[in-house]
């Protein structure tokens, strides 16, 4: 079994993946605005797939879909969403670990009040 990734590892991988993705695109599609819009669309797609997975786990997905809804399949969809989020963060130069830490602190502060 491989060790768990840290957010720092995910950030590092996402930076490399962002560059790999951009290198494979036409110049107009690799520009910052076009790339970010494409990644946002990809995130929307992945969230939709996660939503279908959640519906399947809850028994609200049609049986004709033919999918097995398992913890592993939900984990894969969650991972896809996290990868898209990390790629978007990387394309904006955002340290995802730092952003998550700040957000957790804000949530904890709200719950203490």
Tokens 């033919």 correspond to 66
- The residue ranking higher by pLDDT, 30 or 113, is 30
- Distance (Å, rounded) from C-alpha 95 to C-alpha 61? 36
**What was the pLDDT predicted at 1?**
44
Q: What is the CATH number of domain 7-112?
A: 1.10.287.1080
Helix axes 7-23, 71-91, angle to 10 degrees: 70
- Distance (Å, rounded) from C-alpha 57 to C-alpha 54? 5
> pLDDT tier at 16 (50, 70, 90 boundaries)?
very high
Beta-carbon count within 10 A of 80 CB: 18
- Distance (Å, rounded) from C-alpha 101 to C-alpha 71? 27
Per-residue pLDDT tens for 47-87?
Answer: 999 999 999 988 888 776 667 888 999 999 999 999 999 99
């Amino acid at each position: 079994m491989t060790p768990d990734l840290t957010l720092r590892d995910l950030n590092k991988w996402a930076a490399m993946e962002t560059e790999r993705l951009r290198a494979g695109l036409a110049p107009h599609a690799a520009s910052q605005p076009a790339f970010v819009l494409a990644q946002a669309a990809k995130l929307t797609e992945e969230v939709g797939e996660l939503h279908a997975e959640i519906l399947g786990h809850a028994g609200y997905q049609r049986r004709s879909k033919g999918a097995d809804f398992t913890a592993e399949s939900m984990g894969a969809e969650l991972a896809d969403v996290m990868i898209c989020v990390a790629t978007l963060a990387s394309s904006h130069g955002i340290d995802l670990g730092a952003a998550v830490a700040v957000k957790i602190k804000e949530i904890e502060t709200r719950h203490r009040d």
